[in-house]
């Protein structure tokens, strides 16, 4: 299994780490026209979007690691779908940057729409990776909870779509909802990922 998927995991880990690191590059100093702390506080949507994006990438990496710990072989379809997911991951710093730059401007709602819309697409791509592994029988026999996992993460795109809709009403509310979902996926127990032996071992 390691020889089949090791290079995919190593490449994926590198992409996740680079994308997470790039997020901090777009955090800007407070404007000189305002007092330091007041100017810093005024940029809270940018800092919040940075934190949410970092959590989002981190959660995706955790789930990616969990999934690949049960993949027993790789094929061309898996590699292609995994690349699509990584494309979504490296995209994250761009809408995050736009959120940071749009703080206090009339473009903040548009930036938030792109930001939340990106989450919807990436959640769909993760579900595509999950379903590809299951449908092509690439997971090992201990991965009995794959259907339950698919059901759990299938709600992701719907929840992020709700965030996208909420953005039209309130950008802060959509960011707060994003934060709640990030904590849910990060902290909620993943009992469906427990290993069960079916061969008596």
Q: pLDDT of 101-129, one tens digit each? A: 887 788 889 999 999 999 999 989 998 99
Pick the more confident residue, 28 or 116. Answer: 116
pTM score of the predicted model: 0.81
Q: Residue 88: CB partners within 8 Å, gap ≥ 6? A: 118, 121, 122, 125
Q: pLDDT of 89-103, one tens digit each? A: 999 999 988 888 887
On whether the CB atoms of residues 59 and 105 are closer than 8 A, the answer is no
pLDDT tops 80 at residue 3 = no
């Amino acid at each position: 299994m390691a020889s089949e998927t090791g290079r995919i995991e190593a490449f994926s880990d590198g992409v996740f780490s680079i994308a997470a690191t790039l997020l901090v590059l777009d955090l800007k100093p407070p404007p000189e026209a305002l007092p330091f702390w007041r100017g810093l506080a005024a940029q809270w949507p940018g800092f919040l979007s940075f934190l949410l994006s970092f959590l989002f990438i981190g959660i995706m990496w955790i789930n990616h690691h969990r999934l690949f710990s049960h993949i027993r072989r790789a094929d061309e379809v898996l590699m292609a779908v995994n690349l699509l997911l990584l494309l979504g991951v490296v995209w994250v710093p761009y809408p995050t940057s736009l959120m940071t730059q749009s703080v206090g401007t009339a473009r903040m709602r548009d930036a938030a729409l792109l930001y939340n819309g990106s989450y919807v697409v990436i959640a769909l791509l993760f579900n595509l990776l999950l379903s590809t592994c299951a449908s092509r029988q690439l997971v090992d026999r201990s991965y009995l909870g794959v259907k339950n996992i698919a059901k759990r993460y299938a709600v992701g795109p719907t929840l992020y779509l709700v965030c996208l809709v909420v953005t039209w009403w309130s950008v802060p509310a959509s960011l707060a909802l994003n934060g709640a979902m990030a904590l849910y996926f990060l902290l909620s127990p993943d009992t469906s990922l427990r290993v069960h032996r079916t061969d008596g071992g």
